[in-house]
């Protein structure tokens, strides 16, 4: 690609599909609809301060968290957009207690189920900090033409056929993988298209950034506390002390560390003994992306994508980023607990 050549998301999807003669175009069609939905949500995010869309809607989601008006908009819009594409038979969202079944004839023949956190980091909406959408796509286990069941959703992350995130920040980016590496697309508002801006992203094996909510330090396991002390110690050979960078929006923190090298950590705490992040909506898709970039994602002991889920809203501790940094925190957890 020369400096004057612009490749849009849709062109890239079609070009990638052409490399696999057996591909039927259904996943490409689905990813096209994800990109379209992302542009509409981006429009609302960018004008949120100008209209009555900011703030809480007055209800709580299944996690017991206050739902923001923009959360509901993003959730509803992605559901409607993916229903209309005809490739998805059911959707599971962090905002809904159970999965949403599409029971019309077209949707029942859809090959895929779609899982999402429609607006990650929504507690930052009111203060204009970057937020995002995280999504994951699996082939259904039930037969086409039948109603989708919970079996279709409770698959390990190793079964994902695609995953990605959309970052609504100073610029809007869509990063995704279908298991052939990851690529990033930046939205050009002048033409209303996502354009290829980050080709075949590779994450550094090492980094100098650690991302964790240190306000919870006293509640962390001993191994994590020791690792944080390690990060803060001076050592010229390993470029320590590392920089502490924590935005509080998973997509934003992961995106920065993905490009620059670093580690994101969300361990268990006394108040969240099973972890806080959701395995299906957040950890599995991010783990797929991180691994495709050459990084690593675990629960501190086991590869995240090999965890067999038992419920839609299952939580897990999560460590992801540059491989050597994740290996090091795992070492501290093994030794100190």
**Is 282 flagged in the annotation as binding?**
yes
Query: Is residue 259 annotated as involved in ligand binding?
Result: no
CB 207 within 8 A of CB 320: no
Known binder of ligand: residue 123? yes
15 is in an annotated binding site: no
- Judged by DSSP in three states, 203 sits in coil
Cα 198 to Cα 12: distance, rounded to the nearest angstrom: 12
26 annotated to bind ligand: no
First to last CA, the chain: 49
Sheet holding 193-198, edge to edge: 100-101, 88-93, 112-120, 131-139, 160-168, 172-177, 182-188, 193-198
User: What is the rounded CA–CA span in Å between residue 315 and residue 276?
Assistant: 6
Residue 234 annotated as lining a ligand binding site:
no
Tell me: is residue 205 an annotated ligand-binding position. no
138 is in an annotated binding site: no
Bridge-based pairing state of the strands 209-211 and 263-266: parallel
Asked whether residue 120 is marked as a ligand-binding residue, the answer is yes
**119 marked ligand binding residue:** yes
Rounded to the nearest angstrom, the gap between the alpha carbon of residue 334 and the centroid of all alpha carbons in its chain is 27
Q: What are phi and psi of 62, to 5 degrees?
A: -65, -20
CA distance 104 to 145: 10
249 is in an annotated binding site: no
Please report, in range form, the residues annotated as the binding site: 94, 117, 119-123, 213, 246, 276, 282
Please report, in range form, the residues annotated as the binding site for Mg(2+): 94, 117, 119-120, 282
Please report, in range form, the residues annotated as the binding site for substrate: 120-123, 213, 246, 276
């Amino acid at each position: 690609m020369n400096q004057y050549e612009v490749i849009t998301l849709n062109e890239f999807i079609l070009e990638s599909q052409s490399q696999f003669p057996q591909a039927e175009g259904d996943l490409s069609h689905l990813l096209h609809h994800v990109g379209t939905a992302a542009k509409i949500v981006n429009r609302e995010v960018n004008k949120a301060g100008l209209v009555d869309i900011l703030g809480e809607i007055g209800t709580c989601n299944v996690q017991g968290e206050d739902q923001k008006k923009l959360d509901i908009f993003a959730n509803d819009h992605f559901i409607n957009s993916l229903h209309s594409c005809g490739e998805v038979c059911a959707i599971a969202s962090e905002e809904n207690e159970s999965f949403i079944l599409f029971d019309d004839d077209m949707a029942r023949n859809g090959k895929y189920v779609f899982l999402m956190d429609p607006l990650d980091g929504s507690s930052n909406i009111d203060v204009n900090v970057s937020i995002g959408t995280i999504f994951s796509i699996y082939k259904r286990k039930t037969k086409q033409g039948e109603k989708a069941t919970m079996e279709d959703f409770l698959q390990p992350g190793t079964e994902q056929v695609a995953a990605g995130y959309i970052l609504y920040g100073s610029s809007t980016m869509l990063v995704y993988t279908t298991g052939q590496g990851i690529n990033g697309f930046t939205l050009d508002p002048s033409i209303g298209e996502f354009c290829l801006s980050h080709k075949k992203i590779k994450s550094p094996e090492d980094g100098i950034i650690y991302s964790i909510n240190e306000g919870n330090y006293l509640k962390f396991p001993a191994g994590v506390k020791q690792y944080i002390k390690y990060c803060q110690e001076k050592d010229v050979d390993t470029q320590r002390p590392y920089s502490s960078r924590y935005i509080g929006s998973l997509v934003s923190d992961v995106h920065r560390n993905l490009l620059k090298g670093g580690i994101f950590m969300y361990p268990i705490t006394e108040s969240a003994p099973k972890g806080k992040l959701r395995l299906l909506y957040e950890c599995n898709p991010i783990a797929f992306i991180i691994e495709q970039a050459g990084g690593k994602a675990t629960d501190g002991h086991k590869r995240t994508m090999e965890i067999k889920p038992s419920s839609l809203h299952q939580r897990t501790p999560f460590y992801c980023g540059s491989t050597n940094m994740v290996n090091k925190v795992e070492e501290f957890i093994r030794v100190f607990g």
